[in-house]
Every structure is written in C-alpha cells, then in structure tokens.
Amino acid sequence: MAPPSYSDIGKQARDVFGKGYHFGLVKLDVKSKTSSGVEFTAGGSSSTDGGKVTGSLETKYKIKEHGLSLTEKWNTDNSLNTTVDYDKLVPGLKLTLDGSFQPNSGSKSGKFKTEYKHEKFLFNADLNLASSPVVNMSTSVGHGAYSLGYQTAFDSGKSALTKHNLALAYNAGDMILHATATDSKVFGGGIYLKNSPVLETGVTASSAVGGSSSFGIGCKYSLGPDASLRAKVNNASQVGLSYQQKLRDGVTVTMS
C-alpha cells in the first residue's frame, strides 16, 4: 500500500477541525447515481441571516474499461469547471487535466496534474497552463508506520525554487501523530485519536518563528449511522459547533 501523499499527512486531525463546519450557513448536499453510471452531486447553502444563497451542480462519468473519468461542475457564480482523469497509461500513474471558464468575464485557466503511486513511494506534480508556469512537486515515502513527505515549487518566471516544506507522520492505527515544517519558518504538529467507535479527537498546534502560535482541540461524536456532532475550540477562545444529519442516501444537511 502506498504511503499518504504529502497533502494527506495529518489529514485525519485536520478533518476533525475542518469537516462539517460552515459557520453562519445551512448547507444541503444531494448525491445520486443513474443506472448508466453517471453521478450527480448538487449542493446549496444559505446564510442564517437571510443573505446570499449559493449552489452548485456536478456530474461525473467514468469509463472504467478505458481508465477515463469526466467531471463537470457549475456554480451560481457562473463558473464552469471540467476535469479529465486517465489512469491506464502505466500501472500506478494517474494523469489529470483541469480547466475552468467564467463566461461573464471570459477568463479561463488550466492545470495539468500527475500522480504516481508505488508500494512505498508516492509522487505528485502539477503545472498551471500559463506563460510563466509554476511547477508544484511533492513526494512521500513510507516504511512501516512512518511516512515522510517533502514539497517544493519551481517558478519558471523567477527560475527559482519558492518553497521547501517537510511533513512526518507516525500511524499506530487508533493514534496518528504528525509534524510539519514550512520553509523553516512555521512549525506545527498534531495528534488524531480514535477514542472509541463513536468518538474521534484531534489536537493541532503551530508556531511561527518570531511570530504567533496557535493551538486547538476538536472532537466528533457519532450519534448513530446517520447523525454526528462536532465541537472545537482554539487558544483565541473561538468555539465551533456543528450538527450533521443524513436524511437518506445521498442527502445530507449541515448546521453550524
């Protein structure tokens, strides 16, 4: 089994803090799949003060025998996004082409991505399709319970590497520890605990050289197969609460 990608190191602890929170919003997500294999995802949100209402519609179609998948997404900001994935060229290699277009302004952008997975090695790279592209690269290696990741970027316009980030994780099953270093200026870490079948806890901390520090603790409690409660607090005394309810297969409501 391949190690986690650089961006996924520490994901379990971050998810305890990030997933299920949409402050000041009521959010509804609906998912369905047709008999022909086309997947539909519709989402909408409304602010609790009666303000802006936003929504999105996403369709995804897979041609498994050819290793192709096509995803198209539209939102109420009138932004169109298309993603094409292909994974049949070489075992473990996945190629992705992303494109976005805004009819109102005429602006468009594109990005080419690659991912290669091996039993003890994973490599990611992406390149924005621009006159002076920036190439983002990351890699991770794994051995037993340990994973080590490195991330960098090359700016062709400046002909220079613009970042050097490191991440380390230890996975003991119900406990996952991680530590990060961003350009040798910001250091952080965290711990994820699966306390019981219904309770998950996450703790994160970070500190900038010569700057501020932050600390937070969060938890997720499952009320049953279709409902969960989340809570979190940080060193600035900011408290977050969230309730998520699955109404039926493919339909979920979130209040936070």
- Position 1 confidence tier, pLDDT thresholds 50, 70, 90: confident
In whole angstroms, give the CA distance from residue 100 to residue 78: 11
Examine the pLDDT at 97 and tell me if it is beyond 80.
yes
- Identify any residues that bridge with 44 across adjacent strands, giving them in sequence order: 28, 55
Identity of the residue numbered 14: R
In whole angstroms, give the CA distance from residue 216 to residue 234: 4
In whole angstroms, give the CA distance from residue 123 to residue 240: 35
Examine the pLDDT at 251 and tell me if it is beyond 90.
no
In whole angstroms, give the CA distance from residue 80 to residue 173: 40
Using alpha carbons, list the distances in angstroms from residue 46 to 54, 79, 90, 239. 7, 19, 44, 21
pLDDT tens-digit map of 206-220: 999 888 899 999 999
* Residue 149 burial (C-beta neighbours within 10 Å; 0-12, 13-18, 19+): buried
In whole angstroms, give the CA distance from residue 143 to residue 249: 38
pLDDT tens-digit map of 30-73: 888 888 889 999 988 887 776 678 889 999 999 888 899 999 99
- Which tokens go with 16? 């305890």
pLDDT-above-70 percentage for the chain: 99
Examine the pLDDT at 122 and tell me if it is beyond 80.
yes
Identity of the residue numbered 250: G
In whole angstroms, give the CA distance from residue 152 to residue 128: 15
Using alpha carbons, list the distances in angstroms from residue 76 to 54, 73, 190. 6, 10, 36
Phi/psi at 65 (5° precision): -65, -20
Task: Label the pairing between strands 121-128 and 199-208.
Answer: unpaired
pLDDT of residue 224: 87
pLDDT of residue 207: 92
pLDDT tens-digit map of 125-177: 999 988 889 999 999 999 999 999 999 999 988 888 989 999 999 999 899 99
- Which tokens go with 52? 């802006």
